[in-house]
A and B are shown apart, each in its own frame.
Chain A
C-alpha cells in the first residue's frame, strides 16, 4: 500500500509540475498577478508530493519489502539499518528520486524565500524550474520507476553493492546532488531573465546565495567522493581523472567562475551577458554529467550496468534544456542592456582574469572527457585519455591563475593599483619563496616541481590572510580598534579569505603527493614492511564475521621511525549475498599524513601480499576543500544577514563600507 501511495504521489507531482511550468508564464503574459503567483503554491505542493514518494521508498527499504524490485536488487535483510537507508540512493532509480526530491526542494525554497523578488522574475524562475522537474519526473516514472513491484516476491534481496556499503558513500551522493541540482535554480533564474528581457543587480543579488549554496555543497560532495575513492578502492589515489569525476569537476569549475562573475555583476553592473551564459553552462554541465554517468557512453572505472534507453532519454533532456536555453540566449542576449566596461587593472578586471582561466581550464577538462567519444564516432578507434593529458593541459592553465589570485584579492574596485597590490602581497610571496627554498633544501634530490607547489600553496594561504590583516591592523591603533575593524569587515570578506586559503591548503596537499611512496611485500605474521617514513609489522591475520560479510582481518603495528603509532587493521571482506570481495584499507592518521595499507592476495602458506603507502600531508587536500566550503558558507551568512533586512541595515552597511568584498 505504502509503495502505491509513493508511486501515486510521484505521478501526481508530475501533474503539478506541469502546472508549475506553464501557468506562471501564462499569467505573466496576460498580466494576471493571481495566475503568475500560482508557481509558488505549485512548487511547494510538488515538493511535498515528492517527499511523500521518497519517504515511501525509504520505508520500503527499512522494512526490507522484497515485493519491490528496486529493494530486491539493492538491499538485504541482514544489512545494518544505516546501509538499508543509504541503499535508497545507492542505485539508479532511487538516486533519481533523490535527484528529483532536491530539484523540487530548491523550487520550494525559492517559492518560500522572503526575499523581495520581482513577481515576473519569480514566476519565470519557478516555471523554468518546473520544466526541469517535469523532464526528470517523466524520466523517473517512464524509465526508472523505483516502485515497480515484483511478483512473486523473493525471500531475500541481493544486497547493496558492497563497495557502496560505506559511510562516506552514504553522504556523498546527497551532498553532490544538492550541488549539481542546486545549479538548476541558477539556470532557472538565467532563463527567466532572458524570457523577461531584463537583468540587473537585483537579479545578481537574488542569484548569488543560490549559486553559493550549490557551490558549497558541490565542493563538499566532490571532496567526500574523492576521499571515499581514496580509502575504499584501495589504490591509494585520490583523483583519477575518470570521466565520472570530470563530470562533477566541470560544473564545479563553471560554478566557481559563476560565483565570481555574479560579484562583478552585483557590484559593478557589468559582465551581464557572460554571467547569464555561465549560469546556463553550469547547469548544462551538470546535465551532461548526469548523461555521462547514467548512459554508459564513456568507459569509466566507476561505470555500472546501464540501459541505452535511459541514456537516450537523458540525451533528449540534455538537448532540450541546453539547446533551448542557448537558442534563447542567442535570441535575447543582444537585447539585454549592456553593462559598463571597466579598467583592466581593478578588482573586476581580476575577476575577469579568474573567469577566463577557469573557463579555459573547464574547457580542457571537457575536451579530454569527450574526445574519446567523438573519436570513436568518427574513426571507430577506442582511446583513453588519462592523467598525462590533464597534467599537461589543466595544470598549466590553472597555475598562472593561482599565482595572481592573492593580487586580485587585494585590488580595489573600479581602478586598482597593481603596484600597491604587489607591495601588499610582497610578504606573502616572500614567505612562499622561503618555504619553497627550505623544502628544496630538505628534500634535495627529490621531486623538483613539488617544492614550488608547496611554496605556491603557502603564498595562497598567507596572501589570503595578510590582505585581511593589513586592512584590519595597519589602519587602526590598539587592540580594541583592531577588534572592531575585524568585526566591521563584512563576513563575505572573511569568507573570501577563507575560501582562498582553502585553495592554498589543497594545493599544498596535492603537491606533497609527489613525496608519497609505495612498498609492496609478502608478509607472514611478525614480518615487517617499510615505505617512506612508515614501517608496519604484521601481527596476526584473523577471520571475523560481520552482519552481511565475512572478513580476514590483518592487524598491524605501525611505526614512524622509532615512534610507535596506534595499531591498525586492514581487511579483505567477502559479502555473502553477492559473493563479492572488497578490500578495506587500513589507515593510520599521523598529523596531516597517513600510513595506508591495502591487502592483496593470500599466498597460501599463511603469508599475505601487502601494499604500504606513505602519504605525506595528504589530509590537506580534503581539509582545503572543507575550508573552501566553510568560506562559501560564511559568505552566505553575510548575504542572508544583509538581505534579511535590506532597509534597516542601510546605515550599518555604509559604516562598514569596504573597498572589497
Chain B
C-alpha cells in the first residue's frame, strides 16, 4: 500500500476533540475566547482584520489597508466586503468595494471609503480610525465583476466613490487585456479619488480617461456619451455611482436595445426611513401582520399567534430579545429609533418596541 495523503475529515475531528478537551479547562468560556486575546486573526477565529495603514486619498476619502485573518478566502476584482466597526462603542456594519488587486504577496487588501455628510461610519473610517484597530469582516461578495472571458472593449461609467470597484478591476491588470474607456464624474479635479493613478494610466495610454468636474461643468447627461464615447453601446459597460446616474444609464441602454451590456452596482445601501407602524413579518413562523405605531411587537406577535419569548413586559428583564433582521422599530419609552439591514446583527426588546416601518423579525 502506498502512503496516503492526510485525510482531512480525520484531521478536523482531531482538532475538534482537542478543542473539546481544552473546553473542559476553560468552561464556561471557549478556548477561542482566550486565543482571541492574543491571536484574533488566527485560522478558525471569526473573520476579522487588522487595519495596518490609513492613507488619505482626497479631502474626504481614505484608503484602509487591512490584514485579513487566516480565514479570508480572497476576492474578485469589483467585489465588496462588509466591515464591522465599533463607532461610539456600537458595532456597525457597512459594505465597501475592495480597491486592491487580488493575490497580494502579504495577503493584505484595501478598501477606499468616502466620508458622506453625517455618515456615522464613513466619517469614523476616514478621519478617526487608527492603524492597529481590529475590525470584523465578511467574505468578499457581489457580482459586479468581469466575466471570465474579458470583453475586448469596456466602458466604465462612474461618479464619486463609484470609482472604487472599478479601481479594483483596473489594478488587477484589466487594461492589458481590453480596450478601456473610463468616464468619471467628481465635483472638482482634487475630488477625484485615485486621480493621480488614473491620470498616469491615461498618460501611458492604458485607458482613455474622461474626467467630468461637475462643480464647473454640471452633472453628466448620459446622452452626452454619444459624443464622448461614440461606440459606447457596443462596449460592455459597468456603471457605479449615485442612483440618478444608474437610473439614467439603464434607461439609455434600454433605449439603445442593449440593456444586457450594462452592469450596474448600486453601492449605497437601502436607506431605512422610519415611519409610524408597519408590516411585521416573523420569518420563522411565516406570519405577517400589520402593526400600528403604538402596539408593541410582542403584542403584535402574540395576537397573531406567534410563540414569542417574553418576561417582564416593561423593558427591564431582556427576556424578549430577538434578532431584527431588517427594518425599523421605535422604543416606546423614549421614541428612539433602531434600524437594521440584513447582517447588522441587531437584537431588540419586543416588549418596548413598536414597528416604525416594515420589519422582519427572526422568530
Q: Do A and B bind each other?
A: no
Which residues of chain B have a CB within 8 Å of any CB of chain A? none
